[in-house]
């Protein structure tokens, strides 16, 4: 699966496409979270999409005002102006930096179909190459499928049917965060492209700062 053909089909479709490793539970624990304000800014990727990375601000409740936490609001806007928002936590595990992406679905209940959607977490490695350049590489579901087929991994999951064709299936990890982190510790260096070019498998973007 090539980067340019899947990046906005996969990511902007609420991270529910079959090309990403998905989990019902977070991949991070609070004690592992790393917040680096130097990441804040506006970036462009190779497909002319704009990525705004801001500090995440959330409401504390009725009449309590807003507050910021140690995570990021990631706004991804494609060249057609389609925007998707995510709450992303950067975390360190065994010296490797990862991002946990979780969709912000403010309009989830605007129509009846929204009541049937279950938000999921996705997992990516992040490489901070310089103050102005980031590489984000999501873990690919085809790679996960290979691990299952080769009996290399046993982790709690469900296989769900997607669409009208019974052969179209996806994996959703149902393991606890503890189990997920054991999985990441063992396989966290796999399935990562050397660079984000058109020959790379999986979903990978290189972000270059513009502001």
User: Does 146 score more than 90 pLDDT?
Assistant: no
What DSSP letter does each residue of 29-49 carry, written as one string? -GGGB---GGG-EEEE-TTS-
Q: Output b/e per residue, 179-197; b: 16+ Cβ within 10 A.
A: bbbebbeebbeebbbeebe
The answer to whether 16 and 86 are in contact (CB under 8 A) is no
pLDDT in tens, 172-199: 999 999 999 999 999 888 766 555 654 3
Provide the residue ranges of all domains of the chain, joining segments of one domain with +.
3-209
At residue 71 the predicted structure's pLDDT band, cuts being 50, 70 and 90, is very high
User: Does 125 score more than 80 pLDDT?
Assistant: yes
At residue 117 the predicted structure's pLDDT band, cuts being 50, 70 and 90, is confident
Distances (CA, A) of 119 to 34, 123, 132, 137, 185: 23, 14, 31, 20, 24
Identify the pLDDT of residue 142.
85
Cβ-based burial of 85 (10 A; exposed 0-12, middle 13-18, buried ≥19): middle
Radius of gyration of the chain from Cα atoms?
A: 17
Identify the pLDDT of residue 65.
62
> Rounded CA gap, 200 and 178, in Å?
30
Q: Model-level pTM greater than 0.85?
A: no
pLDDT in tens, 5-31: 334 433 444 344 448 899 999 999 999
CA neighbor of 100 nearest in space, from 154, 46, 33, 39: 33
């Amino acid at each position: 699966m090539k980067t340019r053909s899947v990046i906005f089909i996969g990511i902007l479709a609420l991270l529910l496409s079959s090309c990403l490793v998905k989990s019902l539970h977070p991949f991070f624990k609070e004690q592992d979270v790393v917040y680096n304000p130097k990441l804040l800014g506006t970036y462009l990727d190779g497909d002319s999409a704009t990525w705004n990375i801001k500090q995440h601000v959330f409401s504390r409740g009725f009449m309590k005002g807003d507050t910021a936490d140690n995570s990021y609001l990631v706004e991804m806007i494609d060249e057609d102006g389609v925007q998707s928002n995510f709450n992303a936590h950067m975390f360190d595990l065994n010296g490797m930096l990862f991002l946990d992406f979780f969709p912000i679905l403010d309009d989830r209940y605007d129509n009846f179909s929204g009541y049937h959607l279950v938000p999921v977490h996705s997992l990516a490695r992040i490489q901070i190459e310089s103050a102005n350049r980031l590489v984000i590489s999501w873990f690919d579901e085809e790679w996960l499928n290979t691990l299952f087929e080769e009996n290399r991994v046993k982790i709690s999951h469900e296989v769900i049917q997607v669409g009208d064709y019974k052969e179209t299936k996806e994996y959703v990890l149902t393991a606890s965060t503890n189990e997920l982190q054991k999985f990441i510790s063992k396989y966290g260096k796999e399935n990562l492209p050397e660079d984000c070019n058109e020959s790379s498998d999986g979903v990978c973007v290189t972000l270059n700062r513009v502001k």
